[in-house]
Chain A
């Protein structure tokens, strides 16, 4: 193939995935734009945003890739019912990894901002926000990834090409949405805002 042919093929293959993540990213941005008062009130929250969003992609993208490989190899049946052990183990591991990474991000952000003598909210508040946001978005993303990958596979789509755009799009939207819910929930418990 010539350079032009390679470029045209790569461009055509990538455009739908980028378009999907564009829509998801803009929706997430609108929610984030509506959170300005929360971002002002909880100092250090904005520093956490990229880490929390990336954790969703890293953890649930890898869950989707593992499910896709399992389906291709015939190790996992594309049905949720029956409670397949491999499926439950992979979903539980993803959920635990996502929570540990979120809590680690909150603690590390607090430590770094304190070291830099930058203003930062209480550690308990940041950990509470990371916990609630990580749990809600984790459960939602496990359900979305498993459902869409299985349904797509049964209809003859390649799960490998579904996972990337699916996780980035839903991960961004739900990630920011549940971050907003988490900030407000923690504010109800700890007071403030």
Chain B
């Protein structure tokens, strides 16, 4: 457990270093800082839910790694739909709460654009990462329950921060 944990900690420090790159922007606009934990949390959750479902389907023998596989395509579709439902709330919630607790110099539309664009692109990448990780575990004859969920959760954490960084570069 401990070696894996330390490796995952190093992976997460990678996303911390990305945060460090736009620290001054985050400190200038509190609504973007409010976005950080909720983006990381939602990103990791989207990945871990998908990974858990694909692992179970894999154990039950109902999953085949083909693009027209119903389980695979249905879960991928649900992940994107979940991101499309949750990330608007993430953006508006972050803007609303920071305007309640202090000042916001960004418009709600900017914060919404940042969270929705990073969230939707994250959902697509989360699907790719999860499918590749589950397939790799299957080829290496590892139990996907043990390996895939921590790998996917932490990778999605990092991807969430990286995509947040790009969205801030584009919209702020």
Partner-B contacts on A (CB < 8 A): 1-11, 13-15, 17-19, 21-22, 24-26, 28-30, 32-34, 36, 39-40, 44, 46-51, 53-55, 57-59, 62, 93, 97, 100-101, 104-105, 108-109, 112-113, 118, 164-165, 168, 172, 176
Contact = CB atoms under 8 A, between A and B. Distances in A.
Contacts of A101: 2, 5-6, 9
A105 B9 contact: yes
Nearest to A48: B16
B116 interface: no
A100 B8 CA distance: 13
B27 interface: yes
Interface string B17-59: 1011001001100110111111111101110110001000000
A93 to B, nearest CB: 8
13 contacts: A3-B74, A17-B45, A19-B86, A22-B38, A22-B42, A22-B93, A47-B17, A101-B6, A109-B13, A112-B13, A112-B17, A164-B45, A172-B37
Contact of A33 (B1, B17, B102): B102
A109 B16 contact: yes
B19 to A, nearest CB: 5
Given A18-B49, A22-B42, A33-B102, 19 more contacts: A6-B71, A7-B75, A7-B77, A7-B81, A10-B75, A11-B81, A18-B86, A22-B38, A32-B34, A33-B30, A44-B20, A46-B16, A48-B13, A50-B16, A105-B13, A108-B9, A109-B16, A113-B20, A168-B41
Contacts of A11: 78, 81-82
Main DSSP-derived SS at the A contact region: helix
Contact of B19 (A3, A40, A50): A50
Contact of B35 (A2, A29, A47): A29
B36, B98, B150 interface centre (most CB from chain A within 10 Å): B36
A33 B31 CA distance: 7
A22 B81 CA distance: 16
B33 A29 contact: yes
Interface residues of B, number: 61
Interface in B115-172: 150, 153-154, 157-158, 161
* Chain B interface helix/strand/loop/mixed: helix
A26 B70 contact: no
Contacts of B102: 33-34
A25 B41 contact: yes
A58 B12 CA distance: 11
B94 interface: yes
Interface in B70-100: 70-71, 73-75, 77-79, 81-82, 85-86, 89-90, 93-94, 97-98
B126 to A, nearest CB: 12
A105 B81 CA distance: 34
Nearest to A96: B2
